[in-house]
Structure 1
Amino acid sequence: MSSVLNIATSGLISFQRSLQTISHNISNSGTEGYSRQIVDLKQSIPTFTGTGYVGNGVNVTGIARSYDDFLIKQVRDNTATQQQSEAYATLAKQVDSFIADDSVNLGNVMQEFFNSIQDVSTDPTSIAARQTMLGQADSMTVRFQAVTNRLDEMRAEVNGNLGNMVTQVNSASQSIAKLNQAISAALAGGGQAPSDLLDQRDQQILELSKIVGVNVLPQKNGQVAVIIGNGQSLVDGTSYSQLKAQTNAYGESKDLDINLITPNGVSTTITSNITGGGMGGVLGFRNQILDPTQNAIGRIVVGLTEDFNAQHVMGYDLNGVQGVNFFSAPPALW
């Protein structure tokens, strides 16, 4: 009779655990990053009798997550790629819309300036034509200045985005390190994987991948190491590094560099190594669109200034005085 009661009790306890787990799954159906949990049941070791083995009921051997490492990695990698593309496209669209706007179109204002030059060359004694040329030169200078100011504003926006992202990365890396510690402590205490803590850590790593591409390396004690850039360790077990956005150490530009500062205070510039996530997209935009655009405009201004001034100083005004530089050098807009 006792064995029958024990078997019945084992069944009640096992299915009580199952119902609790089902309730937990239902309650967290809307929790971001939650993985469905499954109760692992296993028959108890039977007892041998003279007539054979008699069963002893069922035991709960563990509660596991419905989880696939490969799929999680795919989601993480695809998230980093998507966020990089979105950040890049959003900023690139701003430049495209701005440059294509008729109110700031550099081609039109330069053509109007060259047309006014043609009018002066056709009738060099015309005061009206000369005044028109001066007015068109002023308009062109103002237009170049407006474009430069807008691109400078976008550079400041890029710096602001990088600063915000660095703050988010530092917060996530600290959280991951703390969860590593809690997970290893839970494993050491009970031997069973703490599913909810593992979900929380996976979610933090996913959020981190939205900002910067990451590689995750499992460790023996249930902890993980998080790698970014070109093999730089962001989280290693319970220790973590910090990112810092700061201006170029040599003052060469207004751009922010991304430095990784290890727990022992060693700082390394990793700007060129960062890929993936919003940070990779912002840096890609700066390197591939913003810098080339401003450099191209700068070359146009410098070339126009030098070539036009070289011709202008060889001429004479209406009073026979030899010409001077028409545009200031360097241009006022720089």
Structure 2
Amino acid sequence: MSLLNVGARALLANQVALQTAGHNIANVNTAGYSRQTVVLQTVQGQFTGGGYIGQGVDVQTILRNQSELLTRQSASAGSTQAADAVRAERLSQLQEVFSGGTTGLGAAINDMMNAFSDVVTSPTDITARTVVLTRLDETAARMRTAGDRLNEIQYTVTEQLQSSVTAINSLAEQMASINEQIARAKGNGQTPNDLLDRRDQIIRDINQYVQTTQIPADDGTVGLFVAGSQPLVLGTTASSLSVDDATQFPASGQIKLFFNRPGASPVEMDENVLGGGSVSGLLRFNNNDLTEGRNLLGRMAMAIGMTMNEQQNLGLTLDGLPGKDLFALPTTMPGSTNGAGVGTVSFTGPTKFEASDYEIRFTTGTAGQVVRLSDGKSTAFTDAANLATLQIDGLNFNLTTPGNPGERMLFKPFSTAANNIQALVYSPRDLAVANPINAAMGTSNGGTMQLAGLKATGLPNPPGLVLPANANPAALPPILGGIQLQFNVGPPTTYDVLDRGTAPPHRWPLRSPTPRESPSPSTAGRSSCRAPPRRATR
């Protein structure tokens, strides 16, 4: 080989080096690009009688400056960061629904209670009563607005999930195509660096949506698996993902990710096995955080509404009529199941409500457990009749049709409670803030007896006075004009219960006061209680 040939070969080798350097510079801002390095090697010398004569330099290969381990760790870390970032963003939106300030729910509730305080101070003031009606309506409106805002958040989450799986499916198709190109190129004996960079970048992009596991094959292709074992990309074949309602409870608002392999049925994947990625973060937010937010809002609406309705029903209006409900609230909510069971849940104890969903899990056709999903606490029941007698967290569960063994029934008692709350009282005269019962001591009493406490235990429209256990349990006539307790000269001390609403007054059987009721000292006298007895403690 001549000196010219050696020089030409050296020029060509260094030209490749310069071209590669230019390639590196040109792609300095290209996402996923790995710097390339030209590896030169000495050309095997030519043997002569005087020894081996060198023949110059040649290009051995062009290497990618990258670490397989670091590339995988980077993809995994990016996946975790994407899940946390999207969830944090959505949680901040959820926090805004419950934010403080003058436009928040707390301010509306405080204003409502302050307005009631003004009515207590001036119970006949129509202006103060009108302000209460305004505050009631405003509180209900803000609860409905908060519920609507949660619906909007769920809608945008669903839209983002749909667009995310569309992007994943597109990237999976691209990766399958690149796998095919890489397999063909490696048949030439050299590594297609730029194709490898593109594939690694696609893997990183997919991991931004859903965390994957990469398994390399001997032909240069890489298999991509989601949820540990589902092959999103296998060689040159790509599968797809989709989001839809949960299979077990389609109407529950729960969203699941499904794996769709050509020629096979969709496989539902739980968000807890997905690892990182924005899809995983969105699913956790929708199925956990947003559900908890709905339950907290619904519990607040039901607890406030039921408590205020009960208190309103205990009082009298300006016209002397029993109070009617302040808020329209649901009384029962149906259960959701894809089995045979049919049931409802009703609200009975607002002070015991828990912000949670519930499941009935049948062990037999009639027996099973009620499970509070927020913490897993369970309550066993033997049959539908036994279940109806149980009050669980202020709720009663009623089965009209039992389920089959192994079936589950989901109850979401608070999820939509705030969306439909309405203020019902429209006239300021209808606020029932008057005490339904009062007592006055007889002016001619000669003893020192004082009224220690007053408690009404009848119904809003009672058939009669409910006497203590040692009294005559016979049915009593309506108490229209109040009652009078007339103490008689003892010992032993006894008193008559007189119905002042009849003419002449109806006298009920004598009884002796209990030790707590016995006046000391006692002389003949009377005490009058006005207005119909009601179930109240004032």
**Residues in 1 aligned to 2:127 and 2:26: alpha-carbon distance in whole angstroms:** 81
Shift of 1:200: 1.0
Contact in 1 for aligned 2:100/2:107 (Cα 8 Å): no
State the TM-score, normalizing by the size of structure 1: 0.89
What does the per-residue CA deviation read over 1:19-44, in whole Å, with 9 as the maximum and x for residues that have no partner?
33233323333322222222222223
State the TM-score, normalizing by the size of structure 2: 0.57
2:87 aligns to what SS in structure 1? helix
What does the per-residue CA deviation read over 1:141-173, in whole Å, with 9 as the maximum and x for residues that have no partner?
011111111121111111111111111111111
Contact in 1 for aligned 2:255/2:287 (Cα 8 Å): no
1:322 aligns to what SS in structure 2? coil
Calculate the aligned-residue CA RMSD, in Å. Answer: 2.4
Shift of 1:107: 1.4
Shift of 1:49: 4.4
What residue number does 1:314 align with?
314
What residue number does 2:161 align with?
162
What residue number does 1:107 align with?
106
Unpaired runs of at least 5, structure 2: 331-416, 421-538
1:188-227 paired onto structure 2 within 5 Å: 188=187, 190-227=188-225
Shift of 1:223: 0.6
2:34 aligns to what SS in structure 1? coil
Bigger CA drift: 153-162 or 324-333?
324-333
What residue number does 2:140 align with?
141
Shift of 1:69: 1.1
Higher relative contact order structure (alpha carbons within 8 Å, sequence separation ≥ 6):
1
What residue number does 2:351 align with?
none
Unpaired runs of at least 5, structure 1: none
**Residues in 1 aligned to 2:96 and 2:312: alpha-carbon distance in whole angstroms:** 35
What residue number does 2:444 align with?
none
What does the per-residue CA deviation read over 1:223-245, in whole Å, with 9 as the maximum and x for residues that have no partner?
11112234332111111211112
Bigger CA drift: 167-176 or 231-240?
231-240
**Residues in 2 aligned to 1:154 and 1:278: alpha-carbon distance in whole angstroms:** 16
What residue number does 1:266 align with?
265
What residue number does 1:36 align with?
35
Structure with greater Cα Rg: 2
What residue number does 1:303 align with?
303
Matched residue type, 1:30:
N
1:233 aligns to what SS in structure 2? strand
What residue number does 2:480 align with?
none
**Residues in 1 aligned to 2:60 and 2:265: alpha-carbon distance in whole angstroms:** 46
Bigger CA drift: 26-35 or 200-209?
26-35
Q: Percent identity over the alignment? A: 32
What residue number does 1:25 align with?
24
What does the per-residue CA deviation read over 1:52-99, in whole Å, with 9 as the maximum and x for residues that have no partner?
444333332222211211222232222223322322222222333443
Higher percent of residues as strand: 2
The partner residue of 1:333 within 419, 433, 436 is 419
Matched residue type, 1:80:
S
What residue number does 2:68 align with?
69
Aligned residues: 332
Higher percent of residues as helix: 1
Shift of 1:292: 1.6
2:419 aligns to what SS in structure 1? coil
Bigger CA drift: 324-333 or 145-154?
324-333
Shift of 1:276: 2.0
**Residues in 1 aligned to 2:81 and 2:289: alpha-carbon distance in whole angstroms:** 19
